[in-house]
Structure 1
């Protein structure tokens, strides 16, 4: 991989292989918030990073994602069923869900429609958890070069919704009484290939590639390789996990009072 000019080409297979895994402790925290653990629903499940963890704590878990590629590469588990579907139009087979999670995907949703949709499939005491992990905190050896790449070189290629992730979804519309939840952390030891594989899954990298910025991407690849040293050497990477958890059937406003600009998303 170190000599490849196509390291930034990404799909469902690369996403499954290189996206950081949530800690098992996150599943325990989420499960502890609800008395009933019969059914969980993971929205925008990708390849099942969080879905598989939930399956260790709930009797049945459904993971949905609009991408066929992601679902095709999702991790199998006897307690999990996957489906290609949109968050704003959930499968009619879903019902009595105790916990609904949206991990690293809430910024892509039409939130008013989504909030209405989850009320149809959730159990009376169900909870909604919006989960995000922020900017990678990299090893000190590569931090300065990584920060330059993230904020300056491809900063303009991040979609505007990316800011919501960086803010831990603290400023998006969330009309549910919230339950305090302690923040968590992802901590991994990665070699050079794993690090660059993760970078390759970024939407900003794909957009920069489409814009003809291949030289910029390859220069970053080479600079990091030189700073890294032995590509097999493991370096510590961390991501802060932020969560907003609320009671679905106790909206702070009546449904009719949810105001948003017609034709636009409310964040």
Structure 2
């Protein structure tokens, strides 16, 4: 297949609702580490944070406990509409705006954050805009979890991993947009253009029902690209194939909503201070 898939597949109203329902919430330690790094050089008030590519606002919520104001932006009006429909603190403002054009004044922001979003950006333009709006010693922080999960089981970890690889790397491989390859490569191709650039990795343990994992995968733009070409029934078919392979690996005859799956999310965090 030679089709070049859109970098903006996440904008649909269907995916926006699936984001809020099925995407994992970022861990509190992510926001804590970002603020800790910021304070290594910045000593003033934490007045404004921009959460670029905020999606349904999950990371915006975490950051709102650290900053007086969070300006949460996303190019998708559907994502912003869903974010606004949720209960959120009054210090979060959701605005439909591209990450490369932020409606704030020069030098007025302490943090420009992007969580599971930067692989969709025009990165040179995003870094230029971040440099414009950041105050001295403010930071850019870019984070994502790696799509390929690491399963934890006394005897079936390898087989569960193979089921995941078949679904993600084989069944869906022809439906990857360019940004998916960037996050699949763990953001190794991204460098924030400041001297003290750091790249950190940490893991978050999760336990979900197998059916929850299937719902999570249904929120991926690459899964929806697959359904666009092959139909919803075919999409449900490859999700069920994944579930059946997991059940076989576990030796289980239960239904997906009855089966617990233990795994790790691998998070990658990139940060750097503006001089």
Q: How high is the TM-score relative to the length of structure 2?
A: 0.80
Superposed, 1:164-179 pairs within 5 Å as: 164-179=182-197
Distance 1:180 1:113, change over 3 A: closer
Name the counterpart of 1:43.
Answer: 52
Name the counterpart of 1:13.
Answer: 17
Name the counterpart of 1:211.
Answer: 229
2:51 equivalent to 1:67: no
How far apart are residue 138 of structure 1 and its match? 3.7
Does the 8 Å contact 2:110/2:138 carry over to 1?
yes
How far apart are residue 179 of structure 1 and its match? 4.2
Q: Which has the higher helix share?
A: 2
2:141 equivalent to 1:115: no
2:172 equivalent to 1:159: no
SS in 2 for 1:78: coil
SS in 2 for 1:115: helix
- 59-68 or 211-220: bigger deviation: 211-220
How far apart are residue 181 of structure 1 and its match? 5.4
2:96 equivalent to 1:84: yes
Does the 8 Å contact 2:149/2:264 carry over to 1?
yes
What are the Cα deviations for residues 14-58 of structure 1, in whole angstroms up to 9, with x where unaligned? 111111111111111111112342221110000112111111222
2 CA distance for matches of 1:203 and 1:94? Answer: 34
2:107 equivalent to 1:130: no
Name the counterpart of 1:99.
Answer: 111
Q: How high is the TM-score relative to the length of structure 1?
A: 0.82
Does the 8 Å contact 2:52/2:99 carry over to 1?
yes
Cα RMSD after superposing both structures: 2.2
Q: How many equivalent residue pairs?
A: 241
SS in 1 for 2:102: coil
Distance 1:89 1:200, change over 3 A: same
How far apart are residue 93 of structure 1 and its match? 5.8
Superposed, 1:253-264 pairs within 5 Å as: none
Residue segments in structure 1 that go unaligned for 5+ positions in a row: 1-8, 251-267
Does the 8 Å contact 1:12/1:70 carry over to 2?
yes
How far apart are residue 106 of structure 1 and its match? 1.2
Distance 1:86 1:53, change over 3 A: same
What are the Cα deviations for residues 131-180 of structure 1, in whole angstroms up to 9, with x where unaligned? 11112224536332221111111111111221211222221353212343
How far apart are residue 124 of structure 1 and its match? 1.5
What are the Cα deviations for residues 179-236 of structure 1, in whole angstroms up to 9, with x where unaligned? 4354222332211332111101111111111112545423323234444433233222
